[in-house]
Structure 1
Amino acid sequence: MKAAAGFTETKTARTALALLIGIGAGGFAYLIGMPLPWMLGPMIGNTIAAILHAPIAPPARLRPVVIPIIGVMLGSGVTPEIVEALGDWAISFLVLPPFLVVAAGASFLFYRRIGKYDPVTAYFSAMPGGLNEMLILGAEQGGDEKRIALAHASRILLVIGFVALFFGLVLGVTSGGQGGQRWTGLWELGLAEYAVLAACAVAGVYLGRALRLPAAAVLGPMLLSGVAHFFHVVDVPPPTVLVIAAQVVMGTVIGCRFIGASAREVGQDLFLGIFSTIGMLITGLGFAAVVAALTDTDLSQAFLAYSPGGLTEMSLLAFAMGGDIAYVSLTHIVRIVLVIFAAPLVFRWFGRR
């Protein structure tokens, strides 16, 4: 019992240290005006801490609590104007399959030939789906979990950093420190509004699981919150302090993905991740330009939709940049579905070979 208590205390202390690093790094990132500071800061801070073998542990128990908050926050950006844009979105979705064939296909061959990954690990490392979705599916198919996790963690790190720089330096779009959104205080919501948002968060998780949605804990609450805001059942987002807390936890969890990885492993996966990500970003920018030319979609929004980051992270970045959250999120959902349905076909083809 004493040993178990000591282990629990040690793990709690490690988790507390990781969160403290996340809060400090997030605060610093906010002060220097970094886009998406409360997620990118904790992510970078804990990545460095993990590589330096600091005694940290991911706040795994907090993650299921805060993810629905992010979903509710993302759903708060849904407006009636979305219906008018569905025609343009359809064209964007039609361009997705060739984008996946080119970008993910090249990345898959890169991991196979250069990284010497087995087919399953290479496939789920190369696919631009969400980290958690690809990790879960890859593990079920017999892939190397650590390599898949490192591939996506490094990709998310690189993508968010690159996209933030691209928006700021090339497109001239910044978050202004507040994520481009007005601060919503705890006192601005009444009991009825808190009840509606809480119901969206809790019921949304069960709805997402019942519908078997990818990233159900995000998409379920986002769906209910979007309906509630679309029909003006509630007109305010969750309090900003809760959204910041959720982003700190998310960034800390991503940074802690590098715990236990040797410097050689991290170096190898970062090397592979850098080249894979650069190729996918260049391809994504090219296809985004095609979408922007064929529709009224702004290049910045199309680029977010085609960037090879995770659903949650890119939706948060869209929120931070004042972008069209629904468009970016839905495009990523369609992409994840395509990746999942393509997996059996790819593996069957490799089996025949």
Structure 2
Amino acid sequence: MPQFMVTALLSRLASLSIVARVVFTIVVGTLGGLAFEVVGLPAAWLSGAMVFVAIATFANLPTLIPNRLRDSIFVVLGISMGSGVRPDVVERVAEWPITMGVLAVTVVAVTGATYAFLRWVGHWNKEAAFFGAIPGALSFVIALASERSADLSRIAVSQSFRLFVLVALLPSLIVHATDHPDAVAAPAAVELSLAQAALLFALCIAASFGAVRLRVPGGWLTGAFFMSSAINAFGFMPVALPQWMVVPCYVALGAMVGARFGNTNLLTFLRLLAASFGAFLVGFAISVAAAWAVSVTLGLPFGQLILAYAPGGLEAMTLLAFVLNLDPAFVAGHQLARYIGMVLMLPLVTRLVLGPKAPLRVGAE
């Protein structure tokens, strides 16, 4: 294509309305998510959307995800995350006090060591290093970081790279490291009726509004998550959003992060990957050491403990437990305890480490 035609196209795109820019961004993100899904990469819809939109942003195309759309995404994701707080998992948490205690120590150690690496070896600023070091809970971390105008490009690269490597490497590592007990059957999915779905969304949206009014960090996601978790854990109704509702939220979330790469060139991105790889090695080494120590002491399967302590996501690690014929309830229980603990403690820890957040800036992003 001639240079003048490229210039004219870029000029035309730059003049698009906000709605057209959002639609363009979502279309690019959807194509990226679809491409990653076809290839079979982990967290495909989120990471594919992030990569494709980041490339578009590198090319100075007008990518945009407004704050109001972002908040809506967080509400739906918060509701979806509550689906992991199943009654059977909650009931079994009390069976594992020692491994839960080790998990708490491991999370603190992984976060501290990874933060130190990103801060002083990777030379990241304090906010990016802090949020990039948090083990897992990508959606919640992005919700907190976006409220503080932190560098989402660094944070997303660190978090996404960690999940990518875990899902890509853990199966081979576990297959060669441990014997597998009999598989535990996955619970059957239960679909919500229209009335149940309407009630669930009404309660969770109200909880999100309440959390925002109370100035709870990440309130849109946090409020919906805790309401959804309570509804699911106490068996009031099943919480299981259909994929056609959740996948677009992953696409939009990835697109939102990709749109934040406006001040990042390709060389800087490669440097972020290098720092993220080093940080992953530091955190994963601590997790593996903790898993090995507990396995030797208590006689539990080493692979099962690696999945329970790995700084990955609840859904990804639990899915691997199913695939590898390990105890998914054990893995889900520990990953869930880590996630809920972080949702409860991170707002306070964030304030202690980073100080109070700056006043919100007016205007869509």
- The question of a shared fold, defined as TM-score above 0.5 by the shorter chain, is answered with yes
Equivalence for 1:158 = 161
- Equivalent residue for 1:205, pick from 188, 203, 208: 208
Deviation at 1:7, TM superposition (A): 7.8
- Change over 3 Å in CA distance of 1:240–1:106 after alignment to 2: closer
Equivalence for 1:317 = 316
Deviation at 1:236, TM superposition (A): 5.6
User: Mapping of 1:134-283 within 5 angstroms?
Assistant: 135=145, 145-146=150-151, 149-171=152-174, 189-206=192-209, 208-209=211-212, 215-235=218-238, 237-283=240-286
Deviation at 1:19, TM superposition (A): 1.0
Q: Judge conservation of contact 1:19–1:59 (CA < 8 Å) in 2.
A: no
Q: Does 1:81 align with 2:120?
A: no
Q: Judge conservation of contact 2:37–2:45 (CA < 8 Å) in 1.
A: yes
Deviation at 1:237, TM superposition (A): 1.6
User: Mapping of 1:299-338 within 5 angstroms?
Assistant: 303=306, 306-308=309-311, 314-318=313-317, 325=332, 327-335=334-342
Deviation at 1:165, TM superposition (A): 0.8
- Change over 3 Å in CA distance of 1:91–1:71 after alignment to 2: farther
Cα displacement string for residues 266-289 of structure 1 (whole angstroms, at most 9, x for unaligned residues) = 233332222112221232233344
Matches of 2:223 and 2:75, distance apart in 1: 8
- Change over 3 Å in CA distance of 1:110–1:213 after alignment to 2: same
Cα displacement string for residues 189-235 of structure 1 (whole angstroms, at most 9, x for unaligned residues) = 43322222222431231354477765443343233333333444323
SS of corresponding position for 2:263: coil
Matches of 1:288 and 1:212, distance apart in 2: 37
Q: Judge conservation of contact 1:97–1:338 (CA < 8 Å) in 2.
A: no
- Equivalent residue for 1:94, pick from 101, 105, 108: 101
Structure 2 residues not aligned, in runs of 5+:
1-12, 176-185, 323-327, 356-365
> What is the one-letter code of the residue matched to 2:197?
Y
> What is the one-letter code of the residue matched to 1:131?
V
Equivalence for 2:31 = 24
SS of corresponding position for 2:62: coil
Q: Judge conservation of contact 2:161–2:273 (CA < 8 Å) in 1.
A: no
Matches of 1:254 and 1:87, distance apart in 2: 37
> What is the one-letter code of the residue matched to 1:132?
I
Deviation at 1:307, TM superposition (A): 4.1
Q: Please, what is the CA RMSD of the aligned residues?
A: 3.9
Equivalence for 1:142 = none
Q: Judge conservation of contact 1:47–1:256 (CA < 8 Å) in 2.
A: yes
Cα displacement string for residues 141-180 of structure 1 (whole angstroms, at most 9, x for unaligned residues) = xxxx33xx333111122012112213444447xxxxxxx9
> What is the one-letter code of the residue matched to 2:247?
I
Cα displacement string for residues 246-303 of structure 1 (whole angstroms, at most 9, x for unaligned residues) = 2221222233332222334323333222211222123223334445666798766754
Equivalence for 2:116 = 109
| Aligned sequence identity (%) | 23
Q: Judge conservation of contact 1:74–1:319 (CA < 8 Å) in 2.
A: no
The alignment covers a number of residue pairs equal to 322
- TM-score under structure 2 normalisation? 0.70
Q: Judge conservation of contact 2:192–2:238 (CA < 8 Å) in 1.
A: no
Equivalence for 1:132 = 142
Q: Judge conservation of contact 2:87–2:232 (CA < 8 Å) in 1.
A: no
- TM-score under structure 1 normalisation? 0.72
SS of corresponding position for 2:68: coil
